[in-house]
Amino acid sequence: MSDRRRARSQDDGGAGDGVDRTPSSRADVCIVGAGPAGALVAHRLAAAGADVVVLEAGPRFDISRRTEAQERHIRPGMGDPWEMGGPRDAYSTAGREYPLNAARVKGVGGSTLHWQGMVMRLHERDFELATRHGVGTDWPIDYADLRPYYATAERALGVAGAMDNPYAPPREEPFPLPAFPPSYSDSLFAEACERLELDMHSVPNARNPEPYDGRAACQGYGTCKPVCPSGAKYTAESHIEKARAAGARIVDRVPVQRLEHDERGETIEAAVYATPDGTEHRQPAGQFVLACGGVENARLLLLSESDQYPDGLANSSDAVGRFFMDHLFAGAGGRLDEPTRQNHVGFNTSECHQFYDDTGPVEGVKLEFLNYAGPSPVIEALGADTWGDELLDRLRESYGTHVAIGGLVEQLPDAENRITLDPDRRDDHGNPVPNVEWSLSDRTKRAIRRANEIQHAILEELGASIEWTVGPDATGPAFHQMGTTRMGEDPERSVVDADCRTHDLSNLWIVGSSVFPTGGAMNPTLTIAALSLRAATAIEESL
């Protein structure tokens, strides 16, 4: 090997791509994670003139190869389009099974690479759950505090929506983009809901009905989750690129192993990361921001234990990893005696918040009218034992006559639902893997049953024959991991303050859904974005 090639191999950590993965001499801000939270903070601070380094555990995926990623998803047996799995992503569960790898991505863009793209604001009650209902806890901020940042986040992501939701919290201006029109099956549901005196309204989506912010309009591929070939759906790659253009340095394939603090345990001095060949480096900075999700934020703090923090970094409250929450899925579907006149639409266009503050269970319930036409004809055909006209007739009978209603149900915070370290299982760097300890309370199960009752009533009014129900015993998570580094005013009961700065270390900040004290029943990404923009303001003031 020539001296030049040898030096290049050392710089890129053995990846062979020529990317320099050695540390910057010293950065103003080091951000761990290049998902939506990290990307927005990186862009805001870099645009303000800060020297920013972003360390991302996963790779940078080539945007020009999204059609290939779509094919990997569509064709059975071709594997995951986002390279999840193996020792790098190993985990364990205790209690109820939690399939962590079913819907997460390590890479530049994070969860927005595969998300469905629905973006709702939390309701005012979500910030005051203890005060209003005597359960859960209150946030140290209220809706009014976050309201201007919600508006900024909607513009940043490019949210398409309409002001037709009578149950939504107050807002200051229209959505940046017009809402997507309701599907034909939405019109069928609308007739049944009108007779039942139920309100349907549009879904805010972070995808373009028309070109916006350099991204194309939606082309209707129908594979939004897990991949959008057109680029119409927002991904955090957009703000990572804006951060890079503003001077930020983005380093991929460098999982952070631990954070190291000063002798007094008051500030973080460096993030220790590994390159693809296993070499460890220390990245110093003035401020540090954790932005690697509800599971990995907590895991990294627990891995960073020290003499001053024997139970994990920033964990004097014993709250790191605790109060893990997700949204639970409730759903029902069936068949109509008429065609739904649609091909698969990859996202929801109508929903109902009428039962979010229902007088029944305290837990919030959000109903979603699914653009679902039946089982995938591709999968049905590939698994069929017949061919020709007989197969075609079978596909015509099974596809295009189905309807379904989904829903998200709130899970209240519980200290025993938590992320811990598994002492018996290691990842590819020899670190304990995350262990998800998760269970459902009787309260949550009652709320899921309540959602099923409403869904059945709508389907019966529609005249559908109900063929399946996802209730308390069959429910699964929406993969919205929240609550493991909760915010609060009391350092003895929380991990970060209202600005997302840790109580224990003055230069360590945490952004993302892990800081949520409660989860509501709204998809969390818009709140992640709003909180991240709010935290970025505080971080900028501290520089």
Report the catalytic residues. 480
β-partners of residue 283 are 271
Count other Cβ atoms within 10 Å, centred on residue 5. 11
Concatenate the DSSP letters of all residues of 282-302 into one string.
Answer: EEEEEEEEE-SHHHHHHHHHH
Count other Cβ atoms within 10 Å, centred on residue 466. 14
Rg (Cα) of the chain, in Å, rounded? 23
SS3 of the chain: helix, strand, coil, percent, to 5: 30, 20, 50
Q: Letter for the amino acid at 323?
A: F
Distance CA 350, CA 171 (A): 19
Angle at 30 between CA 26 and CA 36, to 5 degrees: 155
Angle at 160 between CA 157 and CA 165, to 5 degrees: 120
Count other Cβ atoms within 10 Å, centred on residue 73. 17
Of 274, 268, 280, 278, the closest CA to residue 304 belongs to 268
Token output for 248: 């930020």
Most distant CA pair in the chain, distance: 77
In the numeric block, the tokens 């139920």 are attached to 198
Q: Letter for the amino acid at 139?
A: W
Distance CA 2, CA 385 (A): 58
In the numeric block, the tokens 């990859």 are attached to 346
Of 458, 405, 416, 426, the closest CA to residue 86 belongs to 426
Token output for 535: 């935290």
Distances (CA, A) of 14 to 11, 82, 162, 365, 411: 8, 21, 50, 49, 44
Determine how β-strand 177-178 pairs with β-strand 508-510: unpaired
Token output for 152: 């900024």
Token output for 441: 């309370």
Q: 5, 263 in Cβ contact below 8 A?
A: no
DSSP category for residue 179: P
| Helix runs in 340-400, H state only | 377-382, 388-398
Determine how β-strand 201-202 pairs with β-strand 177-178: unpaired
Buried b (16+ CB within 10 A) or exposed e, 190-221: bebbeeeebebbbbbbbbbbeebeebeebeeb
Determine how β-strand 52-55 pairs with β-strand 249-251: parallel
In terms of C-beta density within 10 A (0-12 exposed, 13-18 middle, 19 or more buried), how is residue 422 classed?
Answer: middle
In the numeric block, the tokens 């990245």 are attached to 283
